[in-house]
Amino acid sequence: MTPPTQPRRLRRLAAATALVLALSACANGGTPASDGDASPGTGTGGATSDVQVAFLPKNLGNPYFDTSSTGGREAVAEIGGTFSEVGPATAAPDAQVSYINTLTQQQVDAIVVSANDPAAICGALNDAKTIGIKVVTFDSDTNPECRDLFVNQATAEGIAKVQVDMIAEQIGDEGEIAILSAAANATNQNTWIEMMTEELAASHPNITLVETVYGNDDDQTSFDRTAGLLQSHPNLKGIVSPTTVGIAAAARYLSTSQYKGQVAITGLGTPNQMREYVADGTVTEFALWNPEDLGYLSAYAANALASDEITGAEGDTFTAGRLGEFTVEADNTVLLGEPYRFNADNIDDFDF
């Protein structure tokens, strides 16, 4: 990493020294897989900077986060900074704490994190903020006071509604459904589930949500939970999985089972993971946004904060390279767009 020569780093040096000494006794997070310094950028998002941006997904090994990191890496290269990614193996509530502590010791300029729990990482993030590190949540938020900005992939209402609409269409708007979620504490899935439940009650009186189970964004656990749902609920007509890991595991289970074509599976998935199950008729339609754009936007937001271009206040504007200009909305939130539906007619137009 480059030596701390920028004014923002000098400003926080004294505070950092004390905190880093304290943290060094307890931190055992991984060393980031740094890309090293990129050449000064040619991005369209404004001035170049040597910003150090660290991405911290819910867990490693999830193609969704591999894609968001691809976007983050692209943006940081355009800016001329240094990109790194670290993360835990499992999506447990406090599994990210040690990684945040290590990033704080290393005095990166910004941490871009998808939270496994709204509160469990707040202490570590507050330590980072104390020494001037900017904190951007993306994909799955913390409590608002723990970060400077949340980059939201789409409105929670929109994400909930598209999933309810799809399952209603696929089961003829009646019968039993279940939800296969990610980790039980995940901020994003829990927000969407709450809104899906409200939307079902308000607009789909003949659909009954019989159970919600948690696959922890782990492929095997999600596969086993799918089997359990089908055994426990013989009249099940559909499963909604608001996680790319869950929907792919459930589709894989269904595709070789007696339930293929009988029990619908929809929710949020990546086209590359779902392609074979759309092709073989297991899956009719699912939705998502572009995770690469989400990571790209999040990295530009992190740089805008770290370079003091914005503070993250409502009404602040910044340019995110090829995605153009964004305005910070209420609750220090930046919105990427709206969810998009994928089906046999369009899935081959996408590669992520």
Binding site for ligand RAM (CB under 6 A): 58, 62, 64, 114, 139-140, 182, 188, 217, 243-245, 268
**In terms of Cα–Cα distance, which of 302, 334, 300, 306 is closest to 320?**
300
Query: By the 8 A CB rule, do 245 and 182 touch?
Result: yes
Report the nearest approach of ligand RAM to the CB of residue 59 (Å): 9
3-state secondary structure of 10: helix
Which residue number, 272 or 319, has a Cβ lying nearer to ligand RAM? Answer: 272
Which residue number, 214 or 326, has a Cβ lying nearer to ligand RAM? Answer: 214
Which residue number, 50 or 139, has a Cβ lying nearer to ligand RAM? Answer: 139
Report the nearest approach of ligand RAM to the CB of residue 220 (Å): 15
Report the nearest approach of ligand RAM to the CB of residue 145 (Å): 21
Which residue number, 82 or 221, has a Cβ lying nearer to ligand RAM? Answer: 221
Report the nearest approach of ligand RAM to the CB of residue 15 (Å): 32
Provide the pairing of β-strand 325-327 with 317-319.
antiparallel
Report the nearest approach of ligand RAM to the CB of residue 167 (Å): 16
Which residue number, 50 or 217, has a Cβ lying nearer to ligand RAM? Answer: 217
The number of beta carbons lying within 10 Å of the beta carbon of residue 93 is 17
Which residue number, 163 or 170, has a Cβ lying nearer to ligand RAM? Answer: 163
Query: By the 8 A CB rule, do 234 and 174 touch?
Result: no
Report the nearest approach of ligand RAM to the CB of residue 64 (Å): 3
Tokens of 157: 């209402």
CA distance 96 to 118: 12
Q: Which residue is nearest to ligand RAM (CB)?
A: 64
Tokens of 248: 């792919």
CA distance 71 to 293: 6
Tokens of 203: 């607009």
**In terms of Cα–Cα distance, which of 46, 23, 64, 150 is closest to 352?**
64
